[in-house]
Structure 1
Amino acid sequence: MKMDSNAAAVVTGGASGLGAATVKALRDLGVKVAIFDMNAETGEKKAAETGALFCHVNVMDEASVDAGFAKARAAHGQERYLVNCAGGGRGGKTIARDKQTGEIKPFNVADFEWVLGLNTVGTFRCIVKSAAGMATLEPDEDGARGAIVNTGSVAAEDGQVGQVAYAAAKAAIKGMTLVIARDLSNEGIRINTILPGIMATPPMLGVKTRAPAIFESLSKSVPFPRRLGHPEEYADLAVTMLRNGYFNGETVRLDGAIRMPPR
């Protein structure tokens, strides 16, 4: 499939960080892009900068996602590409003890459900909606109709203390990738997942401002190169996964060879 002005894409979480870098990379190729994001101010600004379309979308809400796809398709036509970057976490150990009183504090199950709802269910919801639309397209000479990229995390494989909800959510995204690739194979739709390591996204850049020593330590913990990953490096891999017609059903770490310690 050619990535040019005849093609359309949707990027969830596209207002900042990994998603914003992916929006720019796709727009640089001429692809028509719709940004799905909850942050209207940042999303509108990024859309204006890149020539993309902003759609105010909450991936945890069915009606909101439906409205986003309807708006994007009315403007750009049916998308051939979907990149899922929307996500987030709420930290906490499975059970913890109060340092002063010794009181046992269980992890809030509602928070666990929220993290899975945002990351795993939100990703799957957008996959289902987008794939159903892609299946209506005419296939190219290879029989291809579309391609999808998901965002997991290295936490899917080596989650740290206090990351139980986030690690579970990202591991679920990893686990469903091959199954979805098989489900969609007869429709000519590919899907792959990226597991980023420590990336220079806005939350991590905030650490650099608040606690430069911690930021420096995190950078040095990466075997090589000894720095945080650039969002543009994520975007480059996402575009490769979308463009390479034989790239399917894979989960790939993008992490400078880091393996996260327990803490």
Structure 2
Amino acid sequence: MTRQDDNKSQASNSQIHQEMPLIEHLLELRNRLLKMVLAVLICFAAIYPFANELYLWISEPLRALLPVGQTMIATDVTAPFFAPLKLALVLAVFVAIPIILYQLWSFIAPGLYAHEKRLAFPLLFTSIILFYLGAAFAYFVVFPLVFGFFTAIGPEGIVELPDITSYLNFVLKMFFAFGVAFEIPIATILLILTGATTPKDLAEKRPYIVVGCFVVGMLLTPPDIISQTLLALPMWLLFEMGILFGRLAQRERAQTEEETSQS
């Protein structure tokens, strides 16, 4: 074998060694994604047999306020089948969120430092709880007030017959909006810990944040002051919580770094 062939062989081996970690990461990512999809499919298989009952449960806040003798309708021939199916699929994703986030966590955790792992896992767990709390707040607090408002202001002589597909799209949008809005403390803490801002700067921008909360509430909710306020006020309170816990996390991180430097 000539020296040139030997150099080519070494270069080829070096290239293989450089590509292997990337290939391994891609294979691991594929396995994690397959586990996520499998978790959603298992949840869907368990939920779908009860899809009709779940739709009745999720539509109860509106159906309870309809006048006697009035009910919801399906304006599309396929709606009685696809509306519960869509609900079951979305609920399967909601139920599988802990598994999905755990798989994401397992993928990125090996690249984190020990102190980052200690901080990231509580934030991950808290974000899941906050998302579910946001969806529960929308169902038990917001829906009765919003639907009560809409059913009370209609003109006389107008028969209210809500479409099941339109109603489902509306409530899923509200679930997502309130679920994401309740993640504000996590986003605030991450901004503080990454150095993008400080608790003092956020506190000084409080008037702008309050206005921004009402603007977001106006964009994500129906055009009425009740639902807008019911989203804006929790967002503002959660922002204040984020500042508080951000200060505590920043203080703990500074203390940990000081102890590490001393040791």
With normalisation by structure 1, the TM-score equals: 0.27
Larger Cα Rg: Structure 1 or Structure 2? 2
TM-score w.r.t. length of structure 2: 0.27
Which structure shows the bigger proportion of residues in helix conformation? Answer: 2
- Which of the two has greater strand per residue? 1
